[in-house]
Amino acid sequence: MPQTDAETLVQEVSAYLKPKDVAQIEAALAFSIHAHQGQLRESGAPYITHPISVARILTPLHMDAQAITAALLHDVAEDTGISIDELAEKFGKPVAELVDGLSKLDKLKFETKEDAQAENFRKMLMAMARDVRVILIKLADRLHNMRTLGSVSKQKSERIAHETMDIYAPIANRLGLNSVYQELEDLSFKYLHPNRYAVLSKALKVARGNRREVVSKILEAIHQKLDENHIKAEVRGREKHLFGIYQKMQSKSLAFSQVLDIYGFRVLVDDVPSCYLALGVLHSLYKPFPGRFKDYIAIPKANGYQSLHTALFGPFGTPIEVQIRTHQMNELAESGVASHWLYKSSETQINDLHQKTHQWLQSLLESLAQSGDSVEFLEHLKVDLFPDEVYVFSPKGKIYALPRGATTVDFAYSVHTDIGNRCVAAKVNAELVPLRTELRNGDRVEIITAPLAHPNPAWLSYVVTSKARSEIRHALKTMHLEESARLGERLLGQALNSLGIKLQDIEDMCWERVLKETGAKSRQDIFADIGLGRRLNMVIARQLARLSDSEGARGDSSGIITLLGTEGMAVQYAKCCRPIPGDPIIGVIKSGQGLIVHTHDCPSLRKGRGSSEEWLDVVWDRTINKLFEVSIKLIVANQRGVLAKVAAAIADADSNIENVHFTSEGEYTALYFTLQVNNRLHLANVMRGLRKIPEVIRITRVKSIPG
């Protein structure tokens, strides 16, 4: 075990921690050395080199003694059989909780690697929400593993690099840990595309040598101009990270020789006014590129990053990228949420950053709670970690950061879940727009709501934020259950009527016995299960009748369910035959889908018609008031303007066209329409109007439209 690493760690923590804290770290160091005695890494190095290296990655961030201790012990519980309780007893509960949050879930069995990976992230993020130090230690752990990835197999290194690129690097970016983020991306790039990495590294070294003189000249000119204007500043050269250059080449289809701005400059000043003064001085020194200026001081990024960015025409026409920021903004940019440990003051910037981080973690936890499975949650997480963002304004001027591609529905849910659920329309820059409209930087967005509105399943096809997606799914699931419960209650009432019992007359004691026998939690659950076809209404009715000792009483045996048109998602009208009021109909209960209504003569029912218990007699309510889809086919003569005449006739009959499709048949054309009508009488009026058009040769109602 190399003593120098351990000694260096103790020296580094001694520089900023109290002697009592240093003593705890030394005790943890000795404990970890003993626990990992004889263990080797895949490279052949003593295993203890890994936890010491992880702890040393955290010392420049001035992490506290608990975090450094947890970093030294993070593999002890996992690899040596020492329990979390033992660690809590020796080093305190906070340290033990940090270690537990970092532990993998090796003891649990998962069906696939994806499930295991997703469950890992669930546990890690829940621990991270309690204490953000968990993710900081995890990122340091991953960074050291990536630095030493050369000693593992190609298959394993590619898997770890993919995971790092997809999850860990974006998390580091989201938390504002810029240097960690860039190094993780570069190392992932190295193992995912080794040849491209090698070629690009070599080209960068050559370019660096060739441009050294130009860079020195620009640095000198910037220094001189700032001094002339009495602006105290520190100017640094800044090289773009390798993967950033590769991404630029890919996105803009450039050769390396065309990426001229691989070298940038960073100007650090004392306060915010000096940032804007320095910007003016630089714009007078070199001409700025139009449209390349970004003010992240006035509108910070979601991870708290603040800076002025500008692109300038340098000497010999060389493009230069310059970042201008205060010293504290620079520390925040490099250390992100970890800046809390660097600065012990309660300054506004740091508080805002921690608040934003907390809000992001809470939104992740909400989607975690509402996700049906771990893999779905992992998809939510990946969607939520993209770096590109747009900044939009509420009507009152509040700024919201959303991912690129976000729609007005995403914005509605980012304001509040209730706003999203009740959203019916949106205005962007005072103009009404479709809900699927993608937002752009600077848009002013107003959401129009209605008290009885609810989410539309179609929204799932275009929302991009995990919050919107999980809230829509949750609301739809809740709606489906509520509507199914109402239908199930009616179905059970009908079954009880046939046994001569009224649903409202069933005593609570009978319900309690049935709940116990069925294992259901509540009456509502039983109603929902009946409505969804998971339980049979007659079976539950007989159980209740037996318990109430009323079976066999004379009752209404008609067994007919009346459709009111207000059942929502609990009742589906079959696409194969598109029933409308006035059609003779029959219902089938399918497990998990609820009641599906078909016409009596539906061809698809002839094959599946079996057990009578799955089938229900249903009738239309006389007062039903709802629009239904119906399909018709017209054979028309190929003449100019015939489609316009047909559309006008449909509109005159007060019907809407949902879809139109046509096929040519020589001198004639077959037009297929999906229309919205109230009932068969309304359809008859539509068809009567169409028959009056001279070009219409034949008209029929069809069960479905050909694709």
pLDDT at 34 over 70: yes
- Mean pLDDT to the nearest integer, 87-111: 72
For residues 636 and 697, is the Cβ–Cβ distance under 8 A?
yes
Give the tens place of pLDDT for each residue, 277-310: 999 999 999 888 887 888 888 888 766 778 999 9
Q: What is the CATH number of domain 201-336?
A: 3.30.460.10
d(CA 508, CA 513): 9
In whole angstroms, what is the distance from residue 589 CA to residue 617 CA? Answer: 11
Residue range 439-454: average pLDDT? 87
Q: What is the pLDDT of residue 474?
A: 82
Residue range 156-184: mean pLDDT, rounded: 84
Q: Coil, helix or strand for 660?
A: strand
Query: Cα–chain-centroid distance for residue 58?
Result: 29
Fold of 388-464: Ubiquitin-like (UB roll) (3.10.20)
Grouping H, G, I as helix, E, B as strand and the rest as coil, residue 93 is helix
The pLDDT, as a whole number, for residue 649 is: 92
Q: State yes or no: pLDDT of 698 exceeds 80.
A: yes
- Alpha-carbon span 492 to 503, nearest angstrom: 8
Contact 592, 639 (CB under 8 A): no
- Percent of the chain whose predicted confidence (pLDDT) is above 70: 80
Q: Give 409-435 pLDDT, tens digit per residue.
A: 999 998 998 999 999 999 998 899 999
How many angstroms from the chain centroid is the CA of residue 280? 40
Our answer to whether residue 78 is catalytic in this structure is yes
Task: Quote the pLDDT of residue 382.
Answer: 56
- Catalytic residue selected from 79, 352, 373, 665: 79
Give me 319's structure tokens. Answer: 């493009």
Check 78, 163, 389, 629 and give the catalytic one. Answer: 78
Q: How many residues does the chain have?
A: 707
Tens of pLDDT, residue by residue over 489-533, are: 888 887 787 777 888 878 888 888 888 877 788 888 888 877 776
Same fold, 3-192 and 628-702: no
Task: Please state the domain extents for the chain.
Answer: 3-192, 201-336, 388-464, 477-620, 628-702
What DSSP designation does 504 have? Answer: G
Q: How confident is the model over 177-234, as pLDDT tens digits?
A: 888 888 999 999 999 999 988 888 888 777 766 666 777 888 888 989 999 998 999 8
Quote the pLDDT of residue 594.
67
56, 60, 66, 72: CA torsion to nearest 10: -10
Nearest to 51 by CA among 6, 15, 4: 6
Least confident range of 3-7, 234-238, 393-397: 3-7
- What confidence tier does 612 reach under pLDDT thresholds 50, 70, 90? very low
pLDDT at 209: 67
Cα separation, 473 vs 458, whole angstroms:
11
Homologous superfamily assigned to 628-702: ACT domain (3.30.70.260)
C-alpha dist (Å) from residue 167 to 75, 226, 685: 21, 41, 59
Helices 523-531 and 537-548: crossing angle in degrees, nearest 10, is 140
Strand residue runs (E) in 240-358: 263-269, 294-295, 308-313, 319-326
Q: Quick one: CA dihedral 276, 278, 283, 289, positive or negative?
A: negative
Q: Which CATH number fits domain 3-192: 1.10.3210.10, 3.40.50.300, 1.20.58.220, 3.30.465.10?
A: 1.10.3210.10
Distances (CA, A) of 679 to 21, 55, 305, 600: 79, 73, 60, 16
Q: Work out the mean pLDDT of the chain and round it to a whole number.
A: 80
Count CB atoms within 10 A of the CB of residue 678: 19
Residue 79 appears among annotated catalytic residues? yes
The alpha carbon of residue 360 and the mean position of all alpha carbons in its chain are separated, in whole angstroms, by 11
CB of 540 within 8 A of CB of 530? yes
Give residue 656's Cα distance to chain centre: 36
pLDDT of 685 strictly over 90:
yes
C-alpha count within 13 angstroms, C-beta hemisphere, residue 354: 15
Integer Cα distance of 558 and 566 in angstroms:
22
Q: Which of 35-39, 363-367, 529-533 has the lowest mean pLDDT?
A: 363-367
